[in-house]
Chain A
Amino acid sequence: AQSVTQLDSQVPVFEEAPVELRCNYSSSVSVYLFWYVQYPNQGLQLLLKYLSGSTLVKGINGFEAEFNKSQTSFHLRKPSVHISDTAEYFCAVLPGGSEKLVFGKGTKLTVNP
């Protein structure tokens, strides 16, 4: 079965520092990849997605992610974070042929002043 691993449960950083949130998935078949952000007591908002094409994907709020097929990774990056980026971030995989998203356990990003 497909699984998604977010290696860091919590990532504290200072404002304006760069950040990388790591995500690895298990499937060897074609997949679609997503990063979502969740603010407290809210639903999920799509940050970016990889369906095909360029392996570097740019999303909203200055985030980007790179799909690395050989390493089965889809790490999320931002060169300079803001206090407002403090939230929970979920990596998700949609295996080819499936309609069910598989989520990682989430990474809590805390941006400190």
Chain B
Amino acid sequence: QTVVTQEPSLTVSPGGTVTLTCASSTGAVTSGCWPIWFQQKPGQAPRSLIYRTSDKHSWTPARFSGSLLGGKAALTLSAVQPEDEAEYYCLLYYGGVQPWVLGGGTKVTVL
């Protein structure tokens, strides 16, 4: 069974920068995995931020960016704002019988 691993939690100061990563048990994450990043705040539905590694939606704040870093998908939050405190999830595409696998999420605390 494929497992996608994210940091359970990260803490960042307001105005700082933090990078979240998304690793695959099958090996390096590539652009072919179509990495997707979601943000979820308590009591709210998830909101999509990044798709196909680094593409942004029209509503995605400029301070969010996606990339591949050291064999993992990465989400970087720059100039972090208090409202960025949330849970962040990555979703990777593998095709086959179970085509997508979701990471366990990273709780980002802004402190």
Are the chains A and B members of one assembly? no
Residues of B that sit less than 8 Å from A by CB: none
Residues of A that sit less than 8 Å from B by CB: none
